[in-house]
Amino acid sequence: MESITIYPKSKKQQSLLKSLLEEMKVRFEIGKSDDTAMSEEEFYKKIDLAKEDIKQGRYVEYTPELREKLFKSIL
Protein backbone atom coordinates (compact mmCIF):
# COMPACT_ATOMS: atom_id res chain seq x y z
CA MET A 1 0.00 0.00 0.00
CA GLU A 2 1.25 3.49 -0.80
CA SER A 3 1.66 6.12 1.87
CA ILE A 4 0.61 9.76 1.69
CA THR A 5 2.53 12.59 3.34
CA ILE A 6 0.48 15.66 4.27
CA TYR A 7 1.86 18.94 5.61
CA PRO A 8 -0.89 20.91 7.35
CA LYS A 9 -0.28 24.66 7.58
CA SER A 10 -1.84 25.11 11.00
CA LYS A 11 -2.86 23.30 14.18
CA LYS A 12 -6.49 23.65 13.05
CA GLN A 13 -5.79 21.81 9.78
CA GLN A 14 -3.86 19.12 11.65
CA SER A 15 -6.71 18.63 14.12
CA LEU A 16 -9.30 18.42 11.34
CA LEU A 17 -7.25 15.90 9.35
CA LYS A 18 -6.62 13.81 12.45
CA SER A 19 -10.34 13.76 13.28
CA LEU A 20 -11.24 12.79 9.71
CA LEU A 21 -8.72 9.95 9.60
CA GLU A 22 -9.88 8.64 12.99
CA GLU A 23 -13.51 8.75 11.85
CA MET A 24 -12.60 6.85 8.67
CA LYS A 25 -10.60 4.34 10.76
CA VAL A 26 -7.49 5.03 8.67
CA ARG A 27 -4.19 4.10 10.30
CA PHE A 28 -1.86 7.11 10.48
CA GLU A 29 1.19 8.48 12.25
CA ILE A 30 1.93 11.99 13.40
CA GLY A 31 5.62 12.80 13.17
CA LYS A 32 7.71 15.84 13.87
CA SER A 33 7.61 18.52 11.22
CA ASP A 34 10.48 18.89 8.80
CA ASP A 35 11.94 22.31 9.57
CA THR A 36 14.27 22.07 6.60
CA ALA A 37 11.46 22.77 4.14
CA MET A 38 10.94 26.41 3.27
CA SER A 39 8.54 28.29 1.09
CA GLU A 40 9.56 29.68 -2.30
CA GLU A 41 9.38 33.18 -0.81
CA GLU A 42 11.74 32.24 2.05
CA PHE A 43 14.12 30.61 -0.44
CA TYR A 44 14.42 33.73 -2.59
CA LYS A 45 14.71 35.95 0.48
CA LYS A 46 17.73 33.91 1.65
CA ILE A 47 19.32 34.28 -1.79
CA ASP A 48 18.76 38.05 -1.71
CA LEU A 49 20.30 38.26 1.78
CA ALA A 50 23.32 36.24 0.64
CA LYS A 51 23.80 38.56 -2.35
CA GLU A 52 23.69 41.56 -0.02
CA ASP A 53 26.25 39.92 2.30
CA ILE A 54 28.61 39.49 -0.66
CA LYS A 55 28.16 43.14 -1.71
CA GLN A 56 28.98 44.20 1.86
CA GLY A 57 32.08 41.96 1.94
CA ARG A 58 30.65 39.57 4.54
CA TYR A 59 31.93 36.28 3.15
CA VAL A 60 34.87 33.89 3.34
CA GLU A 61 36.76 33.09 0.16
CA TYR A 62 36.97 29.37 -0.57
CA THR A 63 40.67 28.70 -1.14
CA PRO A 64 42.62 25.44 -1.42
CA GLU A 65 43.99 26.14 2.08
CA LEU A 66 40.50 26.54 3.53
CA ARG A 67 39.34 23.40 1.72
CA GLU A 68 42.19 21.41 3.27
CA LYS A 69 41.48 22.82 6.71
CA LEU A 70 37.73 22.07 6.51
CA PHE A 71 38.00 18.60 5.02
CA LYS A 72 41.32 17.42 6.47
CA SER A 73 39.72 14.50 8.29
CA ILE A 74 38.03 13.06 5.17
CA LEU A 75 40.61 13.81 2.47
Model confidence pLDDT, tens digit, residues 40-49: 899 999 999 9
> Taking the CB of residue 22, how many other CB atoms lie within 10 A of it?
10
Residue 18's identity, in one-letter code, is K
Q: With a cut of 70, say whether residue 53 has pLDDT above it.
A: yes
Percent of the chain with pLDDT over 70: 93
How does the average pLDDT of the chain come out, rounded?
A: 89
Does the predicted TM-score (pTM) go above 0.85? no
| Domain hosting residue 49, numbered range | 11-71
Instruction: Provide the number of structural domains found in the chain.
Output: 1
Residue 53 lies in a domain: yes
**C-alpha distance from residue 23 to each of 26, 31, 32 (Å):** 8, 20, 22
**C-alpha distance from residue 62 to each of 2, 7, 27, 48, 51 (Å):** 44, 37, 50, 20, 16
Backbone torsions φ then ψ of 28, nearest 5 degrees? -150, 165
Residue 21 lies in a domain: yes
pLDDT at 34: 63
Residue 6 lies in a domain: no
